[in-house]
A and B are shown apart, each in its own frame.
Chain A
Amino acid sequence: MTTSDKSPLRAPLGILATATATHGTGRDDDIPLPRLPGFVESAFSPLAYEVSSRCLTERPGDCSRTAVALASLLGDTTTADLASRRMVSGKVHNPLLFMQATPNSVLGHTSREFGITGQMFSISTFDDPVTELLAMADLLLEDPELDRVLVLGVELGGSERLAAIHRELTADDGSPVPDLPASAGLAAAALLCRPGAGAPATIRSAETPGTDSDTGTDVEAVDRPGGIQGLFDLAAAHRRLLRDGGSLLLPGPAAYLLTTDTADTADTADETETHAHQ
């Protein structure tokens, strides 16, 4: 079902900041759901805001020249299911569910809090969101009116409807059904620019997909269609680079090379990749 065929990055991207947050997943670093006025019942918007605000706070910049792109295969299914179940049982809708019915709403909240007036998109893709979001940032940063792109992904735990969808999409091929608790959520974000704009790390397309052993990171293959694990891997690689320096190969459906050297280092990239495969 994956569509691939995404263009590799035409030019390297600088990574200004990354952030991740999980809630209710059972991981050690789960956080309580941040309170976000006007957003109720669902982890989607609070987690989206949490990772966005961490990146934008860590690296303040000209928000009139900042774009935002949010990837989520299914969107806020908690809100959608809650509203639908109320409706079919004859209860009136909660107006707050109307207000938060689209991912745009939380992006609107973020834009207001940080004064972002650049472009704002939300997308749904079966492809690896890392590939899709980096390609979109690469394209957007060709716009002379933009300097930065905040990309983020959000994924919620599964209701029984999500399990039914998963079974249909995988044609009951035995793929494990996502097992996150229904109230759980994950979000990850990266604030991107072109190298040379103060970014401590750079990411560029690599020619050869790597493997876990190449990088030593906790990289996993794309776990399921549209799953955002790749964004967590990107954030983990970024953190490791900032700590240790050097370069890392991020494998996946498309491979990327991360380096702390922000100069144009095509030759060095080849060398690093060779090292990575030794």
Chain B
Amino acid sequence: MSGSGEVTVTGFGVRTAFGSGADAVRRGVFEGVPAFAPTSRFDTGPYRTPMAAAAPEGPDAVEDWALRHALAECGTQALDMAGLGPGTRAAVLLGVAGDHTSVTRYWRGDGEAGTDAGGTGAGAAADRAADAVPAQLAELLAAWLGLTGPRLTFTNACVASAAAIIHGCRLISSGRADVAVCGGGYLVEEETFGKFDSGRALSKDGMVRPFSADRSGLLLGDGVAVVVLESAEHSRRRGARPLASVVGWGAATDAHHIAQPHPEGAGLARAARQAMRLAGDPHGAALDYVNAHGTGTKYNDGAETRGLRAAFPDRAESIPVSSTKSTTGHLLEAAGVVEFVITLLALTDGVLPPTAGFTAPDPECDLDYVPNRPRRADLRRALTLNAAFGGANTALVLERP
């Protein structure tokens, strides 16, 4: 191991409803184009809305819309960009809840070798039943990429892939690992769609309008990304050019509710303060942008605004904040890593991605949300935030070289 120290980012791969790769993110997320449309991936008839940010079928589609394929694609992109290949010793850390389509296929009896032993209508979906196991996807990704080293999957819902990145940062900064390949993925499917519909969490007007007065909920979206984290010494030794450094991370819990955020954003503020302390800038004096969790729900966005005010009492109003879920939808376990990539692109491109679908200010959401249009900015440091069921919150600080 190279010893403790700075964590750099040397590669990434990303897929959203806009397609595969960074340019697709630039065309969609950074231009403020919402990807929401009625999805045909399953019958949406039983639900209150057909809308999701699910990529359509086409030449750019991932094979079978299987999570294992999307992760392999993004992992390959990330390693290629980093200039690493098979045989690299790297921790493989994922944030993923498993491929839920295998659960649906099992109970629908869509498998190759139906058993239907209990008269349940179920068959043994003999192919890929194990893709429902979160740990299996990390195993498959590591095998596909030819990486040796420990593997671990985080399953803590919408902070899962941010937690994977934080774990990777800890492994590297403590000298336990030189390289950590961190990722996450969610592709829109019916199991989760139905659950969010039953919880009346989905937007009523087919749009996600974070921080806007008329926001009515979230919509789900496709998101998969993999990033290569590397100790600065390791990347320097092999002549790799870091895209950015991860200079701070934090995680904290609300201790408030199983499914709602703390109304004052207490845990989010605590995570952000932790990350900024680690970054050596406890008051956020050098913070240029916040990629918010910004789900577009009544509960989240007001709480997040108050949390940001608590974390940065002297500066909150002067820091641009945007929610890219307004274009990508909510990526669930993948939100952390995809938004990490978006934040990285904001730093490298010098562009703030907008909060799309913003119609009217809400008195309880009173920060600069970069409404509807991208904004050029000379960015050096940015913070990306995520929150999840159970009151889990994460914060990551990226810095441009």
The answer, yes or no, to whether B136 is at the interface (CB within 8 Å) is yes
Counting contact residues on chain A (CB < 8 A from B), the size range is: 35 or more
The answer, yes or no, to whether B124 is at the interface (CB within 8 Å) is yes
* CB contact between A1 and one of B139, B155, B196, B267 (< 8 Å): that residue: B139
Asked if A88 and B104 make an inter-chain contact with CB atoms under 8 angstroms apart, the answer reads yes
What B residues does A92 contact at CB under 8 A? 46, 194, 198
Asked if B258 and A106 make an inter-chain contact with CB atoms under 8 angstroms apart, the answer reads yes
Instruction: Give min CB distance, B203 to chain A, whole Å.
Output: 16
The answer, yes or no, to whether A60 is at the interface (CB within 8 Å) is no
The answer, yes or no, to whether A6 is at the interface (CB within 8 Å) is yes
Asked if A164 and B126 make an inter-chain contact with CB atoms under 8 angstroms apart, the answer reads yes
Asked if A93 and B198 make an inter-chain contact with CB atoms under 8 angstroms apart, the answer reads yes
Interface residues of A in 81-112 (CB under 8 A from B): 81, 83-85, 87-90, 92-95, 97-109, 111-112
Given contacts A5-B150, A93-B197, A120-B156, contact A168 B390 (CB under 8 A): no
Interface segment, one of A121-129, A230-238, A264-272: A121-129
Asked if B121 and A88 make an inter-chain contact with CB atoms under 8 angstroms apart, the answer reads yes
The answer, yes or no, to whether A253 is at the interface (CB within 8 Å) is no
Instruction: Give min CB distance, A101 to chain B, whole Å.
Output: 6
The answer, yes or no, to whether B392 is at the interface (CB within 8 Å) is yes
Instruction: Give min CB distance, B200 to chain A, whole Å.
Output: 8
What A residues does B157 contact at CB under 8 A? 102, 104
What A residues does B255 contact at CB under 8 A? 63, 111-112, 114-117
What A residues does B136 contact at CB under 8 A? 126, 169
Interface segment, one of B11-19, B127-135, B315-323: B127-135
Asked if A80 and B198 make an inter-chain contact with CB atoms under 8 angstroms apart, the answer reads no
Interface segment, one of B65-73, B169-177, B213-221, B301-309: B169-177
Docked CA distance A95–B126 (Å) = 30
Docked CA distance A111–B389 (Å) = 12
What B residues does A84 contact at CB under 8 A? 103-104, 106-107, 191
Asked if A108 and B391 make an inter-chain contact with CB atoms under 8 angstroms apart, the answer reads yes
Asked if B106 and A164 make an inter-chain contact with CB atoms under 8 angstroms apart, the answer reads yes
* CB contact between A121 and one of B97, B156, B174, B270 (< 8 Å): that residue: B156
What A residues does B274 contact at CB under 8 A? 145
The answer, yes or no, to whether B252 is at the interface (CB within 8 Å) is yes
Asked if A164 and B256 make an inter-chain contact with CB atoms under 8 angstroms apart, the answer reads no
The answer, yes or no, to whether B148 is at the interface (CB within 8 Å) is yes
* CB contact between A102 and one of B46, B97, B200 (< 8 Å): that residue: B97
* CB contact between A124 and one of B107, B128, B133, B199 (< 8 Å): that residue: B133
Asked if B258 and A38 make an inter-chain contact with CB atoms under 8 angstroms apart, the answer reads yes
Asked if A139 and B171 make an inter-chain contact with CB atoms under 8 angstroms apart, the answer reads yes
* CB contact between A6 and one of B150, B170, B259, B390 (< 8 Å): that residue: B150
Asked if B390 and A73 make an inter-chain contact with CB atoms under 8 angstroms apart, the answer reads no
Asked if A164 and B170 make an inter-chain contact with CB atoms under 8 angstroms apart, the answer reads no
What B residues does A161 contact at CB under 8 A? 103, 106-107, 122, 129, 132
Asked if B252 and A108 make an inter-chain contact with CB atoms under 8 angstroms apart, the answer reads no
Interface segment, one of B112-120, B286-294, B370-378: B112-120
- How many of B's residues come within 8 Å of A, CB to CB? 72
Docked CA distance A169–B135 (Å) = 11
Asked if B149 and A5 make an inter-chain contact with CB atoms under 8 angstroms apart, the answer reads yes
Interface residues of B in 84-129 (CB under 8 A from A): 97-98, 100, 103-104, 106-108, 115, 117-118, 120-122, 124-126, 128-129
The answer, yes or no, to whether A118 is at the interface (CB within 8 Å) is yes
Instruction: Give min CB distance, B99 to chain A, whole Å.
Output: 12
Asked if B126 and A168 make an inter-chain contact with CB atoms under 8 angstroms apart, the answer reads yes
Asked if B104 and A87 make an inter-chain contact with CB atoms under 8 angstroms apart, the answer reads yes
Given contacts A3-B139, A90-B46, A98-B196, contact A81 B103 (CB under 8 A): yes
The answer, yes or no, to whether B253 is at the interface (CB within 8 Å) is yes
What B residues does A97 contact at CB under 8 A? 195, 198
* CB contact between B163 and one of A89, A117, A121, A142 (< 8 Å): that residue: A121
Docked CA distance A116–B104 (Å) = 35
Docked CA distance A95–B122 (Å) = 24
Asked if A89 and B121 make an inter-chain contact with CB atoms under 8 angstroms apart, the answer reads yes
Asked if A85 and B107 make an inter-chain contact with CB atoms under 8 angstroms apart, the answer reads yes
Docked CA distance A263–B133 (Å) = 41
Asked if B156 and A102 make an inter-chain contact with CB atoms under 8 angstroms apart, the answer reads yes
Asked if B198 and A95 make an inter-chain contact with CB atoms under 8 angstroms apart, the answer reads yes
The answer, yes or no, to whether B151 is at the interface (CB within 8 Å) is yes
26 cross-chain CB contacts under 8 A: A68-B253, A74-B132, A87-B194, A92-B198, A93-B197, A93-B198, A95-B198, A95-B199, A95-B200, A98-B196, A101-B389, A102-B156, A102-B388, A106-B258, A112-B391, A116-B253, A119-B251, A122-B155, A122-B156, A127-B150, A136-B167, A139-B167, A139-B170, A161-B132, A168-B126, A169-B133
A84-B106, A124-B154, A161-B103 given; 5 more Cβ-contact pairs under 8 Å: A5-B150, A108-B256, A119-B251, A122-B155, A160-B120
Which 7 residue pairs are nearest across A and B when measured between Cβ atoms? A108-B390, A104-B390, A93-B198, A124-B134, A119-B251, A98-B199, A98-B195
